[in-house]
Amino acid sequence: MRAKSPRLATRAILKHEGRLLLVNAYPDKQSTLMCAPGGGVEVGASLPDNLRREVFEETGLDIMVGAPCLVNEFHDPKSGFHQVDVYFHCTINGSTEIDPNWQDSEAIVTKWQWVNQTELSDIHHKPDSLSAVAFDERIGITYDPLEVIVR
């Protein structure tokens, strides 16, 4: 039996005034896990175009996509789900305000918040390297090895 290919996704390291944007991407509050905004890649669109689309769908923000900074993998050994996330440093075009009534078009993102590095350490989040990648300017592109998915 042939294994399924990993799902490919893009994620934004999006900071404003020293704070990183996180989203909760579990519908119906199935988990408290927070992550960088982004999502699955659609065939025929570049990784940056996919990321702009995903961030807009989830937050209403218009972004500029910069350089890649992290490749992260996670999987669920029970189901065989395997995802590869490519993270990019991003900046906001225009307003940084997220309309409190904004609704994700796919109804997956249920919460978003801006956090500083200290606050991030107290939040259930993935990947493990998120703080270093977002807040340590000395770190170049990095790889976060295969992690078991958590909720």
CA distance 117 to 74: 23
pLDDT for the residue numbered 1: 44
pLDDT at res. 3: 60
Specify the length of the chain in residues.
Answer: 151
Write the single-letter amino acid at 3: A
Fill in the DSSP letter of residue 97: P
* Three-state DSSP class for residue 70: strand
Written as six digits, the tokens of 62 are 């218009």
Would you state the pLDDT for residue 85? 97
For residues 98 and 96, what is the distance between their CA atoms, to the nearest angstrom?
A: 6
Domain 7-148: top CATH class: alpha beta
**Per-residue confidence of the chain (151 residues) as pLDDT tens digits?**
456 789 999 999 999 999 999 999 776 767 888 999 999 999 999 999 999 999 999 999 999 999 999 999 999 888 888 999 999 999 999 988 999 888 888 888 888 999 999 999 999 999 999 999 999 988 889 998 888 887 6
Domain ranges within the chain, ordered by starting residue: 7-148
pLDDT of residue 147: 83
